[in-house]
């Protein structure tokens, strides 16, 4: 079903990643549209929406506020720009926190099933981490076997979502004491994850909270529930079930697809599915089956964050980040793209119809019309994974050989830098890192995270900011689509030390690490929180005192809004490379980029130009060093 391509994309200009342009050009030849094409068709995008000035929260509306003041300044109910912008932002935070935390809930359910001995296909892999989390949460581990500990832990974690009463979230035990004090003073201690998200929806209903300050403070509370409990839980439990990542070599970019293999892409976020698909696909039985269908075997590659999950733990190659999901199908060489949830463009079904690719959805909460739906279920994980992999293999003979084009680009990357792995590289203590920071060998640490957005040049800001920072002796860590961008650019290969400043280079060579560290998927931004918390505590300071910052150069998702907010709430200076929809209220913009710093120690900084952004981030780091009395 070729489509008429009304607007062509300047393919050579839209991405900084090798192989992308040739596939956009192929898409146009094949009559297939991509997100870039659809973005052009959406022009001009609604200015009210961009400014955050439209409200559809009740049916007296929709209402729009005139940003120039000559038209209406109030909605029908009387809500003004400040209220509407703040409410819209709060709903974004709620959706983002919900996505991360509901993902955590799914992992927690499997964890509970394993603890209770109900799930034969999953097991407790990292028992050390299980014990340490249990102890941190006040569960005694003495004289208990691992399943008993896991059962007690599962019960506590289940309570995180909806426990009654006003007691703080139990997972906040992982946060530095100084942070807790700050949050107490601000009145933003979260009580239960679902409750805070629910309260966001309540507060933003017609006629409830109209005060932008009060709305945004609840946004901070909700985001803390995400970062320090929901996402944190997803990370901890995934490590306990599948193993805590250790440095591992793998390849990145679309060139990891193989011409004469059955290519399967796992896309989405939850390792419960992707890990099983990888395991089953690599089994003797499936490799043999593939040979029967004329292929040399089965090749699994990751996409987006679930790709990060299997990259970090199993060394599965990663085919690309968010904006490359359609391109993978456009190669014509993908037999199946197997998805769970989050960041799956419904468009992949349309694109797949132009080739032979089967799109297989697996989650009861994420159906896509036109896809094959095979519901995944942890109790029958292996059987279902086999059924899915078999569909992919049987599809191999249908590959349109005359329309296959796999870009040749791929590059080696080292991933798997969990906090535990970083500590191990340091020799078991933070001391060497602290010393290097203190004496100025390394100037600071920046966490870069977040998505792709076709509004900006694909992966360009991701890699530019990273390069600008490592050049200035700033260690870069990160997650999500940023980490895939950095990997595809070679920034996670040992050779990348040549791009680092002399101090950082020395440290990386001594520790045998790249200057950009892959810390995992989006929920693993929680690992960055843990790292910052540990550094602050070791130094006897609070997170805002650290020479550290965060950045989401190409963000687009609501999840990224929640992440950005919990970074700020955790005391981090946080850069956004794409303007958030808040500029319709000067008051809200000022709260987020200035006033919030007095409350929680972090604030947002918006700058689309990656070089300028890196300079500012570096200057902030230098300011923090000055305050600590450290050499510049
Ligand atoms: Ni989370 S980082 S687009 S897939 S949320 Fe999805 Fe991972 Fe952004 Fe990337
Ligand atoms: Fe309009 Fe108020 Fe209803 Fe929003 S809540 S749509 S501003 S009347």
pLDDT in tens, 256-284: 999 999 999 999 999 999 999 999 999 99
- Which one of 55, 71, 86 would you pick to mutate in the ligand 2 pocket, going by the greatest count of ligand atoms within 8 A of its CB? 55
Question: Annotated binding residue at 508?
Answer: no
Amino acid 342: pLDDT: 98
Atom of ligand 1 nearest to the CA of 482: 2
For the residues 130-159, what does the mean pLDDT come to? 98
pLDDT at 631 over 90: yes
Q: What is the pLDDT of residue 505?
A: 98
Whether 496 and 509 have beta carbons less than 8 Å apart is answered as no
DSSP, collapsed to helix, strand or coil, labels residue 604 as: strand
Cα 345 to ligand 1 centre (Å)? 12
Count of Cβ atoms closer than 10 Å to residue 53 Cβ: 25
Task: Indicate which atom in ligand 1 lies nearest the CA of residue 322.
Answer: 3
Which ligand is closest to the CA of 54, given by its number? 2
Q: What is the mean pLDDT of residues 332-344?
A: 98
- What are φ and ψ of residue 419, in 5° steps? -60, -40
Q: Give residue-wise pLDDT tens across range 214-246.
A: 999 999 999 999 999 999 999 999 999 999 999
Query: Residues of the chain with pLDDT > 90: what percent?
Result: 98
Q: What whole-number distance in Å separates Cα of residue 459 and Cα of residue 553? A: 9
Ligand 1 neighbour 617 (Cβ under 6 A)? no
Pairing of strands 411-415, 372-373: unpaired
Q: Residue 387 pLDDT > 80, yes or no?
A: yes
Q: What are the angstrom distances between the C-alpha of 241 and each of 121, 234, 383, 608?
A: 11, 10, 19, 39
Position 100 pLDDT exceeds 90: yes
Closest ligand, as measured to the CA of 558: 1
**Residue 559 near ligand 1, beta carbon < 6 Å:** yes
pLDDT reported for residue 12: 87
Mutate to test the pocket of ligand 1, among 343, 366, 453, 523 (most ligand atoms within 8 A of CB): 343
pLDDT at 11: 86
Does 481 belong to an annotated binding site?
yes
Q: Is 58 annotated as a binding residue?
A: yes
Ligand with the closest atom to the CA of 520: 1
On whether 198 is known to bind a ligand per the annotation, the reply is no
State the average pLDDT over residues 522-541. Answer: 98
Ligand 2 atom 3 nearest Cα: 58
pLDDT band at 69 (very low <50, low <70, confident <90, very high): confident
Mutate to test the pocket of ligand 1, among 227, 271, 304 (most ligand atoms within 8 A of CB): 304
- Mean pLDDT for all residues in the chain: 97
450: Cβ below 6 Å to ligand 1? yes
User: Distance between CA 299 and CA 289 in Å, rounded?
Assistant: 13
pLDDT at 458 over 80: yes
| pLDDT score of 2 | 76
Tokens of 132: 């340490």
With 80 as the cut, is the pLDDT of residue 478 above it?
yes
Residue 68 burial by Cβ neighbours in a 10 Å radius (0-12, 13-18, 19+):
exposed
The answer to whether 171 and 233 have CB atoms below 8 angstroms apart is yes
* SS3 state of residue 176: coil
What structural domains and CATH numbers belong to the chain? Answer: 11-47 (no CATH), 81-161+176-242 (1.20.1270.30), 254-403 (3.40.50.2030), 417-628 (3.40.50.2030)
- The residue whose CA has the least distance to atom 7 of ligand 2 is 75
For residues 536-566, one letter each, b for 16 or more C-beta atoms within 10 angstroms of the residue's C-beta and e for the rest, the string is bbeeebbbbbbbbbbbbbbbbbbbbbbbbbb
Q: Residues with Cβ < 8 Å from 217, sequence gap 6 or more?
A: 186, 187, 188, 599
Name the residue of 559, 577, 578 whose CB sits within 8 Å of the most ligand 1 atoms, as the mutation to test its pocket: 559
pLDDT of 1 above 70 = no
Whole-angstrom CA distances from 9 to 26, 44, 45, 319, 347 are: 11, 16, 17, 22, 17
pLDDT, one tens digit per residue, over 105-134 is 999 999 999 999 999 999 999 999 999 999
Q: Which of the 8 DSSP states describes residue 385? A: H
């Amino acid at each position: 079903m070729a489509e008429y391509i009304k607007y062509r994309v300047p393919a050579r200009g839209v991405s900084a990643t090798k192989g992308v342009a040739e596939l956009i050009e192929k898409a146009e030849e094949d009559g297939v549209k991509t997100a870039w094409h659809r973005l052009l068709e959406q022009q001009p995008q609604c200015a009210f929406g961009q400014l955050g000035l439209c409200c559809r929260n009740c049916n007296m509306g929709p209402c729009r506020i005139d940003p120039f003041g000559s038209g209406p300044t109030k909605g029908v109910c009387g809500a003004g720009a400040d209220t509407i912008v703040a409410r819209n932002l709060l709903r974004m935070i709620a959706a983002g926190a919900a996505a991360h935390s509901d993902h955590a809930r799914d992992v927690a359910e499997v964890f509970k099933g394993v603890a209770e001995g109900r799930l034969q296909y999953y097991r407790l892999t990292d028992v050390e981490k299980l014990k340490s989390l249990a102890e941190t949460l006040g569960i005694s581990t003495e004289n208990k076997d691992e399943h008993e500990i896991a059962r007690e832990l599962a019960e506590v974690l289940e309570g995180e979502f909806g426990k009654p009463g006003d007691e703080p979230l139990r997972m906040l035990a992982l946060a530095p004491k100084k942070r807790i004090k700050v949050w107490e003073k601000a009145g933003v201690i979260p009580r239960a994850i679902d409750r805070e998200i629910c309260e966001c929806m309540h507060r933003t209903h017609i006629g409830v909270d109209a005060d932008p300050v009060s709305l945004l403070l609840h946004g901070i509370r909700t985001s803390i529930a995400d970062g320090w409990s929901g996402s944190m839980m997803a990370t901890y439990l995934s490590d306990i079930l599948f193993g805590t990542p250790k440095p591992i070599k793998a390849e990145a970019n679309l060139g990891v697809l193989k011409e004469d293999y059955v290519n399967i892409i796992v896309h989405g976020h939850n390792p419960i599915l992707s890990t099983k698909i990888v395991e089953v696909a690599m089994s003797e039985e499936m490799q043999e089956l593939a040979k029967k269908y004329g292929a040399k075997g089965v090749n699994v590659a990751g996409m987006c964050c679930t790709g990060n999950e299997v990259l970090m733990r199993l060394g599965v190659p990663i085919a690309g980040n968010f904006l490359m999901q359609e391109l993978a199908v456009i190669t014509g060489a993908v037999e199946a793209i197997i998805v769970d949830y989050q960041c799956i463009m419904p468009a992949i079904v349309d694109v797949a119809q132009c080739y032979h690719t089967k799109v297989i959805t697996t989650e009861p909460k994420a159906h896509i019309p036109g896809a094959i739906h095979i519901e995944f279920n942890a109790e029958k994980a292996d059987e279902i994974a086999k059924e899915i992999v078999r569909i992919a293999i049987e599809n191999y003979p249908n590959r349109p050989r005359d329309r296959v084009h796999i870009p040749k680009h791929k590059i080696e990357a080292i991933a798997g830098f969990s906090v535990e792995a970083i500590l191990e590289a340091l020799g078991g203590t933070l001391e060497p890192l602290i010393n290097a920071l203190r004496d100025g060998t390394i100037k600071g640490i920046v966490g870069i995270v977040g998505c792709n957005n076709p509004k900006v040049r694909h992966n360009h800001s991701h890699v530019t900011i990273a390069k600008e920072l490592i050049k200035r002796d700033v260690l870069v860590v990160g997650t999500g689509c940023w980490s895939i961008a950095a990997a595809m650019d070679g920034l996670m290969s040992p050779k990348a030390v040549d791009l680092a400043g002399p101090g950082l280079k020395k440290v990386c060579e001594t520790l045998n690490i790249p200057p950009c560290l892959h810390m995992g998927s989006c929920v693993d931004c929680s690992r960055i929180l843990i790292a910052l918390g540990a550094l602050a505590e070791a130094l006897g300071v609070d997170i805002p005192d650290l020479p550290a910052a965060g950045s989401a150069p190409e963000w687009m998702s609501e999840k990224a809004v929640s992440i950005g907010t919990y970074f700020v709430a955790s005391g981090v200076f946080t850069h956004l490379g794409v303007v958030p929809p808040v500029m319709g209220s000067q008051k809200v913009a000022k709260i987020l980029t200035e006033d919030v710093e007095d409350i929680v120690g972090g604030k947002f900084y918006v700058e689309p130009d990656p070089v300028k952004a890196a300079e500012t981030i570096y200057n902030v780091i230098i300011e923090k060093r000055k305050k600590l009395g450290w050499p510049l």
